[in-house]
A = this chain, B = another copy of it.
Amino acid sequence: MRHAEVTYEVQSTAADIEQFASEVLLEQTFETPREVVDRYPELAQKGRGSIQSIDEIDEGRFRLRLLIPDHNALDAAQLLNAVFGNAAIHPGVRLMDFEPTEAMARQAPGPTVGTDGIRRKLRIPTRPLTASALKPVGLPLSEIAALCEDFASSGIDVIKDDHYLSDQPACSFEERIERCAAIANEASAKHGRPIWYVPSISGTPAEVRRRVEFALEAGVKCVMLAPMTLGLPLMAEVAADHPELVVLAHPSFSPMASFTPEVLWGKLFRMFGADAIIFVNAGGRFNYSVESCRLVAATMRAPLHGLKPALPVPAGGVSVEHVEEVIGRYGNDCMLLVGGSILKARDRRDAARRFVASVEEHALLTD
């Protein structure tokens, strides 16, 4: 019998926690009264799972570790049910971590390109990668294209859409993709190495499929998806259907009161096919600790049933001045996403070039 170890943080009282723990276990296995399950001894034996440990973290807060059988995680959506299905409905339960079995890991494709593949495609063997964003939303295509030009001519590796960009009247999806992809292609020729324009793709699954196809036709090598808005299984499907396409995941709509960043961004996003994952860097606009961010990046690269490592993309208030600090924090295997601090500069090309130069300067030595 194979079991996933699933860790929750739960709010309860010392008097109630054992009872609550066994209720959460029942929710995550049979979701049926115990006396009904007990009528089928073989079933009860096989599927019951167990409480591995209950530890008080703090007054009224407990860490609960369950062993949950993996045999119902039979597709990508059922994998989510098995790990955090009905337990999520308790507002006082947060998913901290889980160790999937190999069978569970096989329900989603994992990164099909991964860090090494991205490096190979971009022909950047060791240094950290650079990225910036086309924003703010609302600019007409001419301004977005001018921004793309500035970034591309400065040698930024990856130029991504803002996640609010979709099919705005003044900046339509198809025109933007064609124009920005052409700018990136020209810059690639000039620099003698690939520069990527990365469109943000949203919509219903059929729209996402159409838009991915359109982007591929335009020569795009990488797309940005926000899997919490689209559904994690859709990201998994795009990744599996296009194994050479690089998937950059955006964290929008991630309900972080219910998840730790390492389990959602570090583990689930990676399992569901993200090759590179944007996450919140400590010290920026969001209040995440350095330790927590290091753990997120480490989780993206940790051994996990043979899945390729995903590339951490620290973002959210990363500025040109922080390049050395960020590389010190995550090492060379990351992509620094610097947006606002370049956009703020009077001379954007100059700021973008300083960003690129700073990353080259502060890249760690490798042997």
Contacts and interface: CB of A to CB of B under 8 A. Distances in A.
Interface stretch (A184-192, A256-264, A323-331): A256-264
A: interface residue count bin: 35 or more
B138 A77 contact: no
Contacts of A47: 136-138
A136 B32 contact: yes
A32 B287 CA distance: 17
Interface in A84-109: 84-86, 88-94
A280 B91 CA distance: 12
Given A31-B136, A90-B286, A233-B203, A77 B256 contact: no
B340 A253 contact: no
B88 A256 contact: yes
Interface stretch (A57-65, A120-128, A224-232): A224-232
Interface in A241-262: 251-259
Contact of A88 (B71, B93, B254): B254
A92 B257 contact: yes
Contacts of A340: 32-33, 36
Contacts of A344: 33, 35-36
A178 interface: no
Count copies of this chain in the complex: 2
Contacts of A287: 90, 92
A23 interface: yes
Given A23-B285, A162-B31, A340-B33, A203 B257 contact: no
Nearest to A109: B204
A166 B82 CA distance: 12
Contacts of A137: 30-31, 47, 72
B76 A203 contact: yes
B253 A72 contact: no
A237 interface: yes
A205 interface: yes
A251 B85 CA distance: 8
Contacts of A222: none
A69 to B, nearest CB: 9
A37 B343 CA distance: 10
Nearest to A272: B204
A252 to B, nearest CB: 4
A342 to B, nearest CB: 10
12 contacts: A36-B340, A36-B344, A47-B137, A47-B138, A75-B202, A85-B164, A88-B256, A89-B256, A92-B287, A204-B233, A204-B234, A255-B257
